[in-house]
Amino acid sequence: MQEAVSAHAELEHERDYVAGLYQRLDELRAEKQQQLDRVRSGGAVGTMQNISERDAFATMYEDRLAQLNAVDDRLVFGRLDLDSGESRYIGRIGLSTADLQRLMVDWRAPEAGVFYQATAFERQGVRRRRHLILKGREVKAVEDDVLDASMLDSDNLQGEGALLAALNSKRTGQMSDIVGTIQAEQDRIIRSPMPGVLVVQGGPGTGKTAVALHRAAYLLYMHRERLKSAGVLLVGPSNSFMKYIERVLPSLGETGVVMSTLGKLMPGISAVPESNQAVAELKGRASMAKVVARAVANRQRIPAGPRKLNVEGTILTLTPKQVIRARDRARSTGKPHNEARTTFVKILLRELTEQLTQALEESSGPGNNADRSYLTEDVRTSRDVRVALNLCWMPLTPEQLIGELLSKPAHLEGATPQLSDAERALLLRDPSAPWTEADVPLLDEAAELLGPMDVSSARDKSQREHQRARDVANAEQSLVNLDEALKASGIDGLVSAEDLAAHNQIQETRFTAAERAASDRTWAFGHIVVDEAQELSAMQWRLLMRRCPLKSFTVVGDIAQTSSAAGAHSWQQVLEPFAQDRWRLEELTVNYRTPSQIAEAAVRMANAAGLVVSAPKAVRDGNWEPIIDKVDDGGLLGKLLEVMPEELDALDGGLLAVIAPDHRVEEARKALAAVYGSRVGAGAGGLDQDITVIGPKEAKGLEFDGVVLLEPAELLDGVSGKVGDLYVAMTRPTQRLRLLAEGDIPPGIEG
C-alpha cells in the first residue's frame, strides 16, 4: 500500500514539474510571436537598410518560433538525481525562467551527457536516471535506472523499460527520434569530435540513421557559430527516405539543415534513379573525371587550316598557329573553360585587330594618321569573327557538355579512348532522356571545369535588362497596393518601382545559410552527413568532397548492404583517395530494431550466399519466426491477397510493407489497391496508408512493423540483384516477416 502511495506521489510530482515546463514553453512562444508581430506591423517603409534589418529580425523570430513549435511532443524525457543532491531535467531544448534560473538542460549540452553515459560501474556522479514517458503534455509513467546501490531499497523506484517500450511501439511512416533512449554506445559516437571523417558502420537495426541525425543536431549545438554560417548537408538515398526522416531534426530543435538526395545536389536538376546498374557502374568510376576533362579539352578546337574572315569588307586570316598560341596561353591561366575563354578571345581579337589595322594602313597609303580605335569594335562584332572564335572555343553549360558527350558518338569516342565499343554503347543516351543520379556527378564535374558562363556577352546583358524590366513592371503593379497601405498607415511618402525592385533583391539576402546553400553548387558546407553511404560511387564521393573542403563528414552505412554495382567494397577503398588517414571507424554492435529470429535468418542467408556480414546482437526476441509460403506457378498475387488479412490482424494497426522485385511492384500495388483502396501507398507509408508496396532499394533506411517479401530469390538472380538487396529487405520489419515465392527459397533462410 505504501509502495502504491509513493509511486502515485512520484508521478504527481513529475506531472506538476512538466506542466511548469510547458507553461514556460508557451510563454516563450507568446513572447516571440509578439516580437514578430511588432516587427511585421512596421510595414515595408524606411530606408533599404532599415527594411533589411527588419527582415533580419523577422527571420530570427520566425526561426525561434519554428524551433519552439517543433519540440512540443515529448518536450522533456529525463531526470538525473546527482550525488550533490541536485535534480537535473533533460529535454529537447534548454529552458530557463525569466530570471535565468535553469529549468531544463538541452540534451546536447555537456552536462546532459551523463544521462546517456553513466552506468552502475561508472556512475559519473549520478545516483538515479529517470525516464519520463509522456503522451501529449502529460506524464503517463516513469522508469528508473538506479546506479547507486544505496537507493535500491527506496519505495520511489519506478519503471518497466523505456527502450523496449519504444522498440515495440507501432511504426507511423515517420521516423521518431531516439533522444530519450540513446544508448551509451550511440551517445559516444554522437558526441565524437567534428574534424575529419567519422565512419559509423552498423548492421540492420543498429540505429545508424538515428545516430547520424542526432549527431547533426549535436554538432549544430556545439559548433553553432561555425555551422550557422557554413551549414550542414544531410544526404540520403531516396525521396521516400528523406520524407521518412524529415521531422526528426526539427523535433531535436534544429531547422537549418539542408536535406537532399544525390539526385538534387545540382541546382536546377532533379534526377531520377539510374535503372541500369551496368551504366551506373560505368558512370561512377573515378576515371570518369578524366573523361569529363577530356570532353572539355576537346571543345577547345584548332581549325584544320587557315580561315578567311570578312570584317567590314576586309578579308583577314585566322591561322591554326594563332589559335594554338592563344589556346595555350588561355590554358596556362589555370582558369575554368568559360573564364579562360576570355583570355583566348582577347588574344585573338588583338591579333586580328592588328591585322585589320595593317591592311587598312597599307590600302590608304603612307602619311594617313586617321583614328583607328574603332577597329577593335568592328572586329569584335564581326559575324565571321564571332562564329570562328565560337567554333574554336565555345562557352558551355554543364548540361550542354555532358548532354552532347553522352548523345553524340563522335564526342564520346574522342573523350573515352580507354573504353570498349560495348561500354560506349552503354553510355549513349537519348538527348531527351531525363538526367539520372549517376549523371549528377558528371554534371558537377563539368561545372567545376567549365566555370560560370561569361555574363559580359551582349545576349546576356540583354537578358539581364529584360529581367530588370520585368522586375520593375512587377514592382509597379505592387505599388498600387503598397500606396493604399501607406495611406492607411498615415504615412505620406514616395516609393519608386526601382526602389521596390531593389528592395526585392535585398530580400534575397535574408535567406538562411541552409536556404542559400541549397541553391548554390559552389557552397562549402561546414559538415556533411551521408546515410546509406555504402551505395555511393567514386564520382559521387568526389562531388560530396568538393562540397566540404575541410573534409568534415559523418558517414553511416553497412558494407554488407551494398546493392549498387558502383557502391563500396570497403570504407578504406572509398575514403583514402580523398581523406588519406583523416578518417576513423566506429561500429554499432547492438540491433535494436530486428527481432532475433528474423536477424538470424537474414545473416544465415547472407553467409550462404557468400557475403560476410557483421551480426549485431538483437536486444529482443520476436513473437514469430519468419513465415515461408511456397506458391504454385502463377499463384503469387492470389496468395498475397490471401495472407493479407492474417498479416494485418497480427500487426493490429501497425504498418505493413510488401517488398517486391522492382518489376513486380506495380502489379502488386494494383492488386492490393483493388481490395484495400486508399490504404495502399508507396514509400514509407503512414497512418492513413498502413500498407505500402516498394522495391528493395527504396526500402533502404526504412522500417515497418511487418514485411511480406515477394520472390526473394529474384533479388539475388536479377540483372541488378545483389545479396545486399535481399539482406536489406529481410531486415526492415520490427515484428513480423513473411516470404512468398513461386521459385526457390534462397539457402539459409529456413535454418
Q: Is 207 one of the annotated binding-site residues?
A: yes
Residue 732 belongs to domain with CATH number: 3.40.50.300
Nearest to 175 by CA among 207, 215, 133, 198: 207
Task: Give residue 226's pLDDT band: very low, low, confident or very high (50, 70, 90).
Answer: confident
State percent of the chain over pLDDT 90: 51
Q: Is residue 560 part of a domain?
A: no
pLDDT at 732 over 50: yes
Q: Is residue 224 part of a domain?
A: no
Q: Are residues 400 and 464 in the same domain?
A: no
Q: Are residues 413 and 499 in the same domain?
A: no
Q: Is 581 exposed, middle or buried (0-12, 13-18, 19+ CB in 10 A)?
A: exposed
Q: Is residue 126 part of a domain?
A: yes
Q: Average pLDDT, stretch 552-576?
A: 88
Q: What is the pLDDT of residue 659?
A: 96
Q: What is the pLDDT of residue 55?
A: 72
Q: Are residues 480 and 629 in the same domain?
A: no
Q: Average pLDDT, stretch 179-193?
A: 85
Q: Is residue 681 part of a domain?
A: yes
Q: Are residues 290 and 433 in the same domain?
A: yes
Q: Is 734 one of the annotated binding-site residues?
A: no
Q: Is 487 exposed, middle or buried (0-12, 13-18, 19+ CB in 10 A)?
A: exposed
Q: Which residues contact 473 (CB under 8 A, 6 or more apart)?
A: 497
Q: Is residue 577 part of a domain?
A: no
pLDDT at 227 over 80: yes
Q: Are residues 374 and 480 in the same domain?
A: no
Query: Please, what is the average pLDDT of the chain?
Result: 84
In DSSP terms, 694 is beta-bridged to 659
Q: Which amino acid is at 441?
A: P
Q: What is the pLDDT of residue 719?
A: 40
Nearest to 227 by CA among 533, 506, 509, 517: 517
Q: Is residue 317 part of a domain?
A: yes
Q: What is the pLDDT of residue 716?
A: 79
Cell numbers that stand for 749 in this block: 533462410
Q: Is 208 one of the annotated binding-site residues?
A: yes
Domain final residue pick, 169, 195, 225: 169
CA distance 532 to 467: 42
Q: What is the pLDDT of residue 344?
A: 96
Q: Is residue 658 part of a domain?
A: yes
Q: Average pLDDT, stretch 568-578?
A: 90
Q: Average pLDDT, stretch 668-694?
A: 89
Domain with 467 in it: 456-504
Q: Are residues 16 and 43 in the same domain?
A: yes
- Do 702 and 244 contact (CB within 8 A), yes or no? yes
Q: Are strands 314-318 and 307-311 parallel, antiparallel or unpaired?
A: antiparallel
Q: Is 205 one of the annotated binding-site residues?
A: yes
Q: Are residues 1 and 141 in the same domain?
A: yes
Q: Is 451 one of the annotated binding-site residues?
A: no
pLDDT at 511 over 60: no
Residues found in the chain: 751
Task: Give residue 486's pLDDT band: very low, low, confident or very high (50, 70, 90).
Answer: very low
Q: Are residues 682 and 698 in the same domain?
A: yes
Q: Are residues 64 and 10 in the same domain?
A: yes
Cell numbers that stand for 64 in this block: 525561434
pLDDT digits (tens, 9 = 90+) for 366-409: 655 555 678 888 899 999 999 999 999 999 999 999 999 999 99
CA distance 397 to 505: 25
Q: Is 243 one of the annotated binding-site residues?
A: no
Least confident stretch, 1-10, 412-421, 633-642 = 1-10
Q: Is residue 373 part of a domain?
A: yes
State the total domains in the chain: 4
pLDDT at 8 over 70: yes
Q: What is the pLDDT of residue 658?
A: 96
pLDDT at 166 over 50: yes
Higher pLDDT, 234 or 147: 234
Residue 396: how many CB atoms within 10 A of its CB?
21
Q: Are residues 1 and 132 in the same domain?
A: yes
Domain final residue pick, 142, 169, 196: 169
CA distance 16 to 20: 6
Cell numbers that stand for 271 in this block: 534526377
Q: What is the pLDDT of residue 159?
A: 41
Q: Average pLDDT, stretch 220-227?
A: 85
Using CA atoms, how far residue 193 sits from 113, 339, 583, in Å, is 14, 39, 12
Q: Which residues contact 421 (CB under 8 A, 6 or more apart)?
A: none
Q: Are residues 153 and 295 in the same domain?
A: no
Cell numbers that stand for 542 in this block: 568526389
